[in-house]
């Protein structure tokens, strides 16, 4: 539903020539960071046409914000300002992010920022920054900014190994991985041992840890009807 809204907004753009899309998908820094890790996980090969379009729109919004000046060199990610990034470009960015995170996890420092121009200007009481560069370089710079800001919250999913952004007590990258882990734990426990469960219950009731006698209850030794002598 969220994506449908986004699509209709994107469709409402009045001037198709403008390179600036209203950045409403990203209302906060947090929403940028969450989007990036959602993007890392998405299987681009499995998307429907509509879903693919949505990811391409959002990827463009991720970069093209107010104050961004897009350069359009060959191989820069976009041919014209009206284009959306292609799925193969998105796949390349996923790979760049995955490799970059692994680089940092190994303690290396060779994920290098590609060059962009950052200008600062005073607007009254605030300084504003504008960025200029190719779509690709701007995209990578944004990823690096978010990784830097959120490094202490980035975890590897114990189920699938993918990096994710930890929110509150979250342990797995996604509900799907959380469910898989729960199922694996259940299977690892093995089949239920009803005899053992019964014994434990009886021991608990009796307040003893003494082993219970196995097998059927023995018949009473006393004869059913005592013979009068």
Return the half-sphere exposure (C-beta side, CA atoms, 13 A cut-off) of residue 214.
Answer: 2
How long a stretch of residues is the chain? 229
Stretch that binds Zn ion, among 114-122, 160-168, 196-204, 206-214 (CB under 5 A): 160-168
Residue 183 C-beta: closest distance to Zn ion, Å? 13
> Which of 52, 97, 146, 177 lies at the binding interface for Zn ion (CB under 5 A)?
177
What is the separation of C-alpha 228 from the centre of its chain, rounded to a whole number of angstroms?
Answer: 83
Q: Is 63 in the site for Zn ion (CB under 5 A)?
A: no
Q: Is 59 in the site for Zn ion (CB under 5 A)?
A: no
- The SS3 call for residue 66 is coil
- Residue 166 structure tokens: 């930890």
Residue where the block lists tokens 């470009």: 89
Q: Is 70 in the site for Zn ion (CB under 5 A)?
A: no
- Residue 164 structure tokens: 């994710």
Residue where the block lists tokens 């409402």: 12
Residue 174 C-beta: closest distance to Zn ion, Å? 6
Complex with Zn ion: residue 78 or 173, whichever CB lies closer? 173
Q: Is 142 in the site for Zn ion (CB under 5 A)?
A: no
> Which of 116, 156, 160, 181 lies at the binding interface for Zn ion (CB under 5 A)?
160
> Which of 84, 143, 159, 163 lies at the binding interface for Zn ion (CB under 5 A)?
159
**CA dist 187 → 45, 93, 122, 202 (Å):** 31, 37, 62, 26
What does the binding site for Zn ion look like in residue numbers (CB under 5 A)?
Answer: 157, 159-160, 173, 177
């Amino acid at each position: 539903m969220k994506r449908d809204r986004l699509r209709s907004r994107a469709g409402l753009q009045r001037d198709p020539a403008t390179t600036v899309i209203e950045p409403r998908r990203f209302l906060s820094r947090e929403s940028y960071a969450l989007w990036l890790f959602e993007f890392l996980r998405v299987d681009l090969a499995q998307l429907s046409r509509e879903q693919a379009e949505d990811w391409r729109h959002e990827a463009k919004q991720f970069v093209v914000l107010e104050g961004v000046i897009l350069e359009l060199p060959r191989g820069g990610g976009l041919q014209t300002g009206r284009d959306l990034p292609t799925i193969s470009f998105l796949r390349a960015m996923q790979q760049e992010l995955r490799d970059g995170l692994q680089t940092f996890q190994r303690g290396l420092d060779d994920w290098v920022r590609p060059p962009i121009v950052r200008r600062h200007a005073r607007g009254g009481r605030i300084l504003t920054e504008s960025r200029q560069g190719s779509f690709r370089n701007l995209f990578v710079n944004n990823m690096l900014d978010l990784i830097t800001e959120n490094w202490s919250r980035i975890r590897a999913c114990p189920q699938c190994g993918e990096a994710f952004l930890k929110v509150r007590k979250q342990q797995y990258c996604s509900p799907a991985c959380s469910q898989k882990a729960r199922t694996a734990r259940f299977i690892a426990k093995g089949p239920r041992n009803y005899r053992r469960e019964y014994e434990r219950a009886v021991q608990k009731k009796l307040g003893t840890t003494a082993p219970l006698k196995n097998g059927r209850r023995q018949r009473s030794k006393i004869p059913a009807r005592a013979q009068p002598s």
